[in-house]
Amino acid sequence: AHASPARSLARPGATSVPSSRMATVTASLPLRAAARAGPAPSRAPPSDAAFFPGRPWQRGLAARGRPREPAGWFRAEALSGGGGGGPPRREPMAPPYNVLITGSTKGIGYALARKFLKAGDNVVICSRSAERVESVRNDLKKEFGEQHVWGTVCDVREGKDVKALVDFARDKLEYIDIWINNAGSNAYSYKPLVETSDEALIEVITTNTLGLMLCCREAINMMWNQPRGGHIFNIDGAGSDGRPTPRFAAYGATKRSVVHLTKSLQAELQMNEVNNVVVHNLSPGMVTTDLLMSGATTKQAKFFINILAETPDVVADYLVPNIREIPTNQSMKPTYIRFLTGLKAYSRIFSRIAFGARRNKYVAED
């Protein structure tokens, strides 16, 4: 569950991040790409060093993450050179998509899972709680069928769990098109940093920062060798734009790091000519989850929750079609999809001040 207060909505509009601004490191050479996908050759595939001569980063990826594909192997290699440059050839993405969502047994993660399933996609859900995973998986299977939803336990703070999640997804679906990093925590704590316990700080930082890094690492390792490539979406939250987050400073700091990590990964992928994996940002705005509502204890918090917050289903109804549009259009450009834009936020604030709109919509202010 993720919450972004009104003051974190300074950038209006849901716009794409242009590649010229994607990173300080930008590839200046035109790219050509050669890709092969198909039956396994009779001879053993070349070594990873042959794939990426002089590129230790990509050789490291290959050594750690190359899947043993039952139906064949895939090579995506970007070559520099003049003339005839273009994006790498790869299998086009087409629905239904295979989707993996972390922290997806409640809140916005659960709502996203249901919306993808309604669209006909296949979904892997996960959570730390085995009981919640089993309960939610069974409910979704009853609604959408046995062969469209799978669930497993995963604590994103543990590298071994995230690796096991990848193995589980490969076993059930062979590949993942869309990976959404939704798992996050505020330790249900809204208090000044000086009053925050060690346990709460460790919970927030290891889940929101370390967990996100582990998931991004394993998702890239998984996707870079898939014939269809893949898209990773990192969910932001309060503090992601650099504005202060009093009473949940640690949470805001971790969410600020989400944007930086996404930009850095975009730069690394471009620098290393990995052209079939893209990392995006996803902003759900203020969502009426347990995490957000546990902080509705001040007059200001109640005011902004009533004005700006929406239910998980409403937010998912907007986000999922916009996410699916990216692979449908074969786009490989980084995007920042926002539900609650600055214009929408200011419009709602004006309506409240002028007409009293949305007063006491979710919590009593008086």
Which two tokens mark 297?
């204890």
Report yes or no on 55 lying in a domain. no
Q: From residue 250, how far is each of 109, 198, 240, 299 by CA, in Å?
A: 22, 11, 12, 22
Check which CATH number belongs to the domain holding 200 and give it: 3.40.50.720
- Which pLDDT does position 89 carry in this prediction? 59
Report yes or no on 39 lying in a domain. no
Residue-number span of the structural domain to which 333 is assigned = 98-288+312-340
Q: φ, ψ for residue 157 (rounded to 5)?
A: -75, -15
Report yes or no on 136 lying in a domain. yes
Distance CA 16, CA 339 (A): 13
The residues annotated as belonging to the active site are 251
CB atoms within 10 A of CB 144: 19
pLDDT in tens, 216-260: 999 999 999 999 999 999 999 999 998 999 999 999 999 999 999
Report yes or no on 204 lying in a domain. yes
pLDDT in tens, 259-287: 999 999 999 999 999 999 999 999 999 99
- Which pLDDT does position 113 carry in this prediction? 98
What angle, rounded to 10 degrees, do the helices at 342-355 and 299-308 form? 110
Pairing of strands 149-153, 277-283: unpaired
Report yes or no on 122 lying in a domain. yes
Report yes or no on 360 lying in a domain. no
On whether the CB atoms of residues 340 and 4 are closer than 8 A, the answer is yes
Rg (Cα) of the chain, in Å, rounded? 21
Task: Tell me which residue of 244, 248, 317 sits closest to 287, measured CA to CA.
Answer: 317
8-state DSSP, 206: I
Please tell me whether residue 234 adopts helix, strand or coil conformation: strand
What average pLDDT values come out for the chain (366 residues) when binned by 10 residues?
42 42 36 36 39 46 44 32 45 95 97 98 98 97 95 98 98 97 92 96 97 98 94 95 93 96 98 96 94 88 93 98 97 96 93 94 90
Q: φ, ψ for residue 162 (rounded to 5)?
A: -70, -40
Pairing of strands 74-80, 31-37: antiparallel
- Which pLDDT does position 48 carry in this prediction? 42
Tally of domains within the chain: 1
Report yes or no on 191 lying in a domain. yes
CB atoms within 10 A of CB 297: 11
Residues in the chain: 366
- Which pLDDT does position 290 carry in this prediction? 86
In one-letter notation, the amino acid at residue 272 is: N
Report yes or no on 302 lying in a domain. no
